[in-house]
Amino acid sequence: MRIILLGAPGAGKGTVAKLLSDHDGSVQISTGDILRKAVKDGTELGAEAKGFMDRGDLVPDSLIMRIMEMRLQEPDCEKGFILDGFPRTIPQAEALKALLEKLNIILDFVVNLEVPKAVILDRLTTRRTCSNPECQEIYNIKSNPPTDDGKCTKCGSPVIQRDDETEEAILNRLETYNEKTAPLIGFYKGEKLLKSFESLSSMETVNEIKKHLG
């Protein structure tokens, strides 16, 4: 499959992307994961991105497009991909359109995950993430907690609250989403690629998406 996942922070893009990737081997491409790994590895790219990320601001479009232009040409993308957290702005969506045309890639569709704001806020403040950049398993202190001593059940690394998961950064991320990313819904409607899924569980959403893939 070749799809884009759209949705506010906390809408469940990461979880849905992982389940879809397990389904048919399409690779999950999360710009957030790529950037966090770059920060952790101390690369030049990471140093450039860190300040924006910690504040909950978007990283500049030019930097994101540099990453994605290379990423989409890696061999593992040939069997399909699930874009999680990209594109995030109209300029990114336009640059992606041109890039896909250049690479002769056709998208199946764009999935819009619609989740009520109260649910999103509750999820984000209770969310924890495995600190191992190779793992990054997502936990929730209420519904899906790590071990009693706060370790990842998959890899044993400490499970932490991300720097951008303080209340202030969360509110900023939601504002940024409304201002910069929500307009993509109209963009992809215009492209006749949009399919919306209203506040379903991740499992139900994945089943619906599979039906549409035919």
Distances (CA, A) of 24 to 35, 71, 81, 207: 25, 19, 10, 13
Active site residue 55: no
Query: How many whole angstroms separate alpha carbon 204 and alpha carbon 113?
Result: 12
Q: Which stretch binds Zn ion (CB under 5 A): 16-24, 107-115, 145-153, 197-205?
A: 145-153
- Site map for Zn ion, 83-122, x if CB under 5 A? ----------------------------------------
- Triad 6, 164, 124: Cα angle to 5°: 60
Residue among 13, 18, 36, 128 flagged as catalytic: 13
155 binds Zn ion (CB under 5 A): yes
From the list 28-36, 101-109, 114-122, 149-157, the region that binds ligand ADP by CB under 6 A is 28-36
The binding track of 79-108 with respect to ligand ADP, each residue x by CB under 6 A or -, is: ------xxxx---x----------------
* Known catalytic membership, residue 88: yes
Q: Quick one: 91 or 145, whose CB is closer to ligand ADP?
A: 91
d(CA 133, CA 113): 25
Please report which helix (H) or strand (E) contains residue 82, including its range: strand 81-84
User: What span, in angstroms and rounded, lies between the C-alpha atoms of 39 and 34?
Assistant: 9
Angle at CA 103, nearest 5°, toward 102 and 108? 110
Quick check: 58 binds ligand ADP (CB under 6 A)?
Answer: yes
Please give the residue ranges that form the binding site for Zn ion (CB under 5 A): 130, 132, 135, 137, 152, 154-155, 157
